[in-house]
Amino acid sequence: MKKIIYWSPYLGHVGTKKSTLNSAKGLSFYGKDKFDVILINALGEWNDVDEIKTLSFFKNLYKRLPQGGFIKSRISYLIIFLLSILPLYKFLKKDKPDYIIAHLITSLPIFLFRIFKFETKLILRISGYPKLNLIRKFFWKLCSKNIHLITCPSIELKNQLRKLNIFENKKIVVLYDSVINIKEINDQKKNFLSDDVTKSNYLLAIGRLTKQKNFYLLIDAFYQFNKINDNYKLYIIGEGEEKKKIISRINQLKLEHKIILLGFKRNVYKYLKNSKAFILSSLWEEMGFVIIEAASCNTLIISSDCPNGPREFLNNGDAGYLFNNNSVNDLVQNLIKFDKDEKNIKYNKILLAKKNVKKFTIFNHYKELRKILDNK
């Protein structure tokens, strides 16, 4: 039986948290006779997990970490890095797992594998769209020989990495994220929304209120679209450091009754299934978990063509509406087109997107990951 370790310390509500947990649960459940799966609980971020085995370094420090904003998050990452160096080193030396799959704060295991020799093989799992600055490129290049395999969540990112010549091409493979649990979605979709939501014609956006998600552009585009067609409301689900600025912009445009911030919601599926369309306005995104969740709810998708995943998932616009990244005018034109298109056109887009969802189920991820662990 192979011992597989997951390393993924996180801060806040990030999509990679869900992807990591689903991956570990799938490998543990479907491969229970083949794999011994352990999730490292560095500072207590995984305290609430009981479906799979966890190994705790410091169980009660997570809630004490600074959170919210760029500077606080960087301080927390540094604390996790420094406190986890010795425990992770000792564990790898003593237990000698077959693989460690690193999702978040990957710099720590990469650093350890660069300095020390382990019997364990390191898999660098790229889940989000990485900012490939000079420091990261140099660090990856320096440590490339110590990384056994690099998995990418999209074909586009795999091709991009290969062009950069940071890693050997044979080390870079595609592994779609483990996003969808069909049973969980079906159960959560059954929950009812309040009457004031269900009775309204609404568009929906979901994501952390950060620069990346580009909600300013969405608000400005909705403002222009609302002048042409005032039949829709816009609901935004999420929390984040730019909330005050976003509220200020909504008030400035006098859209308080048309754009409603709902805050963080654990169950987004009941909102997705009732919306007329889901809008992704991000400046950059990997595959975009919420796009996949929207497609699983048969919700029409309007997305920026940002790098890397949305364009690939939406079949270059055949499975949804794609607007030019960071273009208010093009988003407005796509909103108009969405509103005027015949039902059969919209239905075909929804159907194509739904077909792409199966790549991102827990079981499909398990099958592909098992091939990697068995053959590499």
Q: Which domains does the chain have, with CATH numbers?
A: 2-178+361-375 (3.40.50.2000), 182-358 (3.40.50.2000)
Residue 266 identity (one-letter amino acid): R
Residue 181: how many other CB atoms lie within 10 Å: 18
For the cut 60, the answer to whether the pLDDT of residue 279 exceeds it is: yes
Give the percent of the chain with pLDDT over 70: 95
State the DSSP code for 205.
Answer: E
Q: What mean pLDDT do residues 94-110 have?
A: 95
Q: Please answer whether residues 20 and 46 qualify as being in contact, where contact means their C-beta atoms are separated by less than 8 angstroms.
A: no
More confident residue, 329 or 197: 329
DSSP E strands in 256-347: the ranges are 259-263, 277-280, 301-304, 321-323
Q: What pLDDT is attached to residue 196? A: 55
Question: What pLDDT is stored for residue 228 in this prediction?
Answer: 95
**pLDDT score for 72:** 87
Q: What are 120-147's pLDDT values in tens digits?
A: 999 999 876 677 788 888 999 999 999 9
Rounded to whole angstroms, the Cα distance separating 243 from 263 reads 9
DSSP bridge partners of 36: 3
Q: Are 180 and 296 in contact (CB under 8 A)?
A: yes
For the residues 69-79, what does the mean pLDDT come to?
87
pLDDT at 329 over 90: yes
Task: For residue 212, count other CB atoms closer than 10 A to its CB.
Answer: 18
Extract the tokens encoding 282: 């991000």
State the pLDDT at residue 13.
Answer: 67
pLDDT value at residue 195: 52
Residues contacting residue 352 through CB under 8 Å, at least 6 positions apart = 315, 318, 319
Please give the Cα distance from 15 to 205 (Å, whole number). 15
Average pLDDT of the residues of the chain? 91
**Residues found in the chain:** 376
